[in-house]
Amino acid sequence: MAQPNTVNVTILDKSYQVACPPEQKADLVTSANYLDSQMRSIRDTGKVIGLERIAVMAALNISYELLRATRTDGETALASTENADSEAAFRSLNNKLEEALHKLRQIEIS
């Protein structure tokens, strides 16, 4: 395995240096670009303010996408129903988080 090199990535116009083996550089850059895209999308809604909050929401969304993508295709009907319930619960939780963050933002502005 090659020694890690430092790779510069930019997320929300802020530059970060990340140690990364040379053979993983392309994947790191792709991941950083995807994260930047997700964070910009969340920021542009105007519902979430603050880099930390935007990062947490992006992390939740990406984690959810990963969990959905890694599930096997051979799920039973029961598992599919559970997935639909989980997806609805996630959307509900996401909406509650957005509402709470919006209320918190209003309090901070006051």
Rounded-to-integer distance, Cα 10 and Cα 26, Å = 14
pLDDT in tens, the chain (110 residues): 556 689 999 999 999 999 999 999 999 999 999 999 999 999 999 888 888 999 999 999 999 898 888 875 545 445 566 667 777 777 776 666 666 666 666 665 65
User: Under a CB-based contact definition with an 8 Å cutoff, are residues 54 and 39 in contact?
Assistant: yes
Boundaries of domain holding 18: 5-109
Asked if 7 contacts 25 with a C-beta cutoff of 8 angstroms, the reply is yes
Distance CA 79, CA 43 (A): 34
Look up the CATH number of the domain holding residue 15. Answer: 3.30.160.880
The amino acid sitting at 76 is T
Number of domains in the chain: 1
